[in-house]
Amino acid sequence: MAKGEAKQSEKKVVPVEEGLFTMPILPGEEPHLIGSKCKSCGTVFFPRRVICGKCCREGMEEIILSRRGKVTTWTVIRMKPPGYKDQVPYVLGEVELHEGVLVRTHFSGVNPENPAIKVGDEAEVVLEKIYEDEEGNDVVCYKFRPV
């Protein structure tokens, strides 16, 4: 087996950061964002927190968030932020999940030159490759795609 072939078979799909979302393992399994819910006041957060940002108490429980929500705002980003490894332009915005938490996100499947997206549209979480790391692994992150 050639050296390039061995490396290709060792290629993995890895999350951009541990603990942001579930990684599907089985065929047909869908990704979910991982949040936290305050055991005292019930406020839900994404990403996870150790202390509640509303009542300032400890005792957050980890929860799996719903996959769908409503677009609350969006814009087209045309300049590459420092350290950003994906392509520009891209569509960035927020989705409010059924639990009431707002998630800042890139939108997948939306053409930034002619964005066919509007406030109130339903969107669902997907995982997409954002770059390849030094070991040749595909690094994935969550995005939302209009439904």
Q: Given pLDDT bands bounded at 50, 70 and 90, which one contains residue 1? A: very low
Cβ within 8 Å of residue 15, ≥6 positions away: 21, 23, 139, 140, 141
Average pLDDT of the residues in 36-50: 96
Considering the chain, what is the average pLDDT of its residues? 92
Per-residue pLDDT at 9: 55
Over range 13-25, report the average pLDDT.
94
Report which of 72, 66, 70 is spatially closest to residue 33, judged by C-alpha positions: 66
Residues 57-116: tens digit of each pLDDT: 998 999 999 999 999 999 999 999 898 877 899 999 999 999 999 999 999 999 999 999
Domain range list for the chain:
14-146
Write down the pLDDT at residue 6: 46
Measured distance CA(68)–CA(22) in Å, rounded: 15
Q: Is the dihedral of CA 140, 23, 34, 121 positive or negative?
A: positive
